[in-house]
């Protein structure tokens, strides 16, 4: 084993522990998130995860109570916490982004796992869930965010693995643009039925129950994003390692 290979091996071992601690933090924080959601469901929905959600309209304006505003802040703070952890864990800009992707993915998967342990919900992967409230309600079967979370965890882990092996992961602006655009399409699928979910008072009768999910929008975006990532990563790896 030459000096270069020894350095790469040591670098890979050093990166292993930040990865482990990010995963541990995300899984533990998911328990906290799950517990908070259980409490909120008890406060607002008598412990139920069923639709329709509670929403109040007065003179054409949606009424938010103070707890609702605090909830918006909690959702934003969750993202900030994961981002701060990732920024502290990565040794370069690419790894900081990748650790955020991993932390978010692990957090989301364990969020549903812990809810299943705590209260036996969701009943199955096609159970409907309210994902976020910012900026509109995100609603979908739980399998859809889980698929995204798994893809994020795997993608982030692979990029960190190859980066520490010495491969040049030269992710261009257009790569990020394509992946983010696919993500935007998936978010649009989550929010597609927002007027029905919050029973928007525009004179159209709405029951607040989720309609069939916009698979026609979600699946092409998800599949293309995964294939594009795999194609570009293969290109990066095939070019070889850093010359230095």
User: What is the mean pLDDT of the segment spanning 138-158?
Assistant: 96
Banded pLDDT at 13 (limits 50, 70, 90)? low
Give yes or no for residue 8 having a pLDDT over 80.
no
Q: What is the pTM of this model?
A: 0.87
Establish if 243 belongs to a structural domain: no
Hey, what are 72's tokens?
């918006």
* Mean pLDDT, rounded, of the chain: 86
Q: Give residue 46's pLDDT.
A: 67
Establish if 232 belongs to a structural domain: yes
Establish if 183 belongs to a structural domain: yes
Q: Apex CA 163: angle with CA 223 and CA 231, to 5°?
A: 25
The answer to whether residues 144 and 192 touch, using CB atoms and an 8 Å cutoff, is no
Please name the helix (run of DSSP H) or strand (run of DSSP E) that holds residue 155, with its range, or none. helix 143-164
What digits encode the pLDDT tens for the residues 229-241?
999 999 988 876 6
What digits encode the pLDDT tens for the residues 79-107?
999 999 999 988 889 999 999 999 999 99
The answer to whether residues 84 and 76 touch, using CB atoms and an 8 Å cutoff, is no
The answer to whether residues 95 and 101 touch, using CB atoms and an 8 Å cutoff, is no
User: What is the mean pLDDT of the segment spanning 162-180?
Assistant: 90
Establish if 109 belongs to a structural domain: yes
Q: Give residue 95's pLDDT.
A: 93
Positive or negative, the CA dihedral 40, 43, 48, 52 is negative
Give yes or no for residue 244 having a pLDDT over 60.
no
> Could you tell me the residue range of the domain that residue 71 belongs to?
3-238
182: CB partners within 8 A, 6+ apart: 221, 222, 224, 225, 228
User: What is the mean pLDDT of the segment spanning 34-45?
Assistant: 83
Establish if 244 belongs to a structural domain: no
| Number of domains, the chain | 1
Burial 207-229 (b: 16+ CB within 10 A, else e): eeebeebbeebbeebbeebbeeb
Q: Give residue 48's pLDDT.
A: 67
Give yes or no for residue 47 having a pLDDT over 70.
no
Establish if 73 belongs to a structural domain: yes
Q: Give residue 6's pLDDT.
A: 46
User: Percent of the chain having pLDDT more than 90?
Assistant: 53
Q: Which residue has the higher pLDDT, 204 or 77?
A: 77
What digits encode the pLDDT tens for the residues 92-145?
899 999 999 999 999 999 999 999 999 999 999 999 998 887 778 899 999 999
């Amino acid at each position: 084993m030459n000096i270069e290979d020894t350095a790469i091996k040591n670098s890979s071992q050093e990166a292993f522990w930040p990865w482990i601690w990010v995963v541990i933090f995300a899984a533990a924080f998911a328990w906290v998130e799950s517990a908070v959601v259980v409490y909120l469901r008890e406060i607002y929905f008598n412990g139920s995860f069923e639709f329709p959600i509670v929403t109040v309209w007065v003179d054409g304006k949606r009424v938010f109570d103070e707890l609702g505003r605090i909830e918006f802040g909690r959702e934003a703070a969750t993202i900030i916490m994961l981002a701060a952890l990732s920024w502290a864990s990565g040794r370069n800009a690419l790894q900081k982004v990748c650790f955020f992707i991993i932390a978010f993915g692990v957090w989301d998967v364990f969020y549903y796992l812990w809810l299943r342990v705590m209260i036996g919900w969701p009943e199955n992967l096609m159970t409907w869930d309210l994902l976020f409230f910012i900026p509109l309600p995100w609603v979908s079967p739980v399998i859809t965010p889980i698929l995204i979370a798994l893809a994020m965890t795997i993608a982030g882990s692979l990029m960190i693995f190859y980066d520490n092996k010495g491969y040049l992961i030269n992710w261009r602006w257009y790569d990020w643009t394509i992946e983010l655009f696919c993500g935007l399409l998936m978010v649009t699928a989550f929010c597609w039925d927002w007027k029905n979910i919050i029973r928007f008072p525009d004179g159209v009768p709405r029951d607040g129950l989720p309609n069939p999910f916009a698979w026609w929008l979600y699946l092409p975006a998800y599949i293309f994003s995964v294939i594009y990532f795999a194609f570009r990563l293969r290109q990066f790896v095939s070019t070889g390692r850093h010359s230095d």
